Amino acid sequence: MSSRYRVALKLTWMAILIVVLILFTRVRHDFVYQGF
């Protein structure tokens, strides 16, 4: 697979993740380790 094609695939995957995050992110989440 050429480097340009691989990068294009990764950028597409990034775009999908961004859409998923916009649609499903829970606004509030407290990390378990936060405060240790």
Partner 1 sequence: MGVGCVAMPLNSLPFLLLAVCAVFVVPVARGWLRTTIFLAINLTFVVSYWGLGGLPVGLTFCLAGFLCARLVRGRSTAALVVSVVILTAMFIYLRGYAGGGASAPTRLSAAGIFAIAGLSFLFFKMLHVVVDASSGTIERLTLGRYLNYCLNFTTVLMGPIQRYQDFAAQWDGETPDAPRFENYVDAANRTLRGFVKAFIFAPTLAPYILRPGMPIEQMGGLELLAAIYAFYIFLYFDFSGYCDIVIGIGILMGLRPPENFRFPFLARDVSSYWLRVHRSLTTWLTDYVFTPFYRYALGSTAMGRFQFLALSASLLLTMIIAGVWHGTAWHFAMFGLVHGVALVVVRVYEHVMTRRMGKAGFRRFTERPAVTAAAVFLTYNFTSLAYLFFVLDVHESVRVMERLAVTAGLAP
- Which residue bears the tokens 């294009």? 8
Kindly state the smallest distance separating residue 25's Cβ from partner 1, in Å.
5
- Which residue bears the tokens 């697979």? 1
Tokens matching residue 25: 């992110």
Report if residue 35 touches partner 1, rule: CB under 8 A. Answer: yes
Kindly write out the interface string for residues 7-26 of this chain, putting x where it contacts partner 1 by CB under 8 A and - elsewhere.
x--xx-xx--xx-xx--xxx
Report if residue 33 touches partner 1, rule: CB under 8 A. Answer: yes
Calpha distance 11→23 (Å, rounded) = 19
Calpha distance 22→15 (Å, rounded) = 11
Residues that bind partner 1 (CB under 8 A): 3, 6-7, 10-11, 13-14, 17-18, 20-21, 24-36
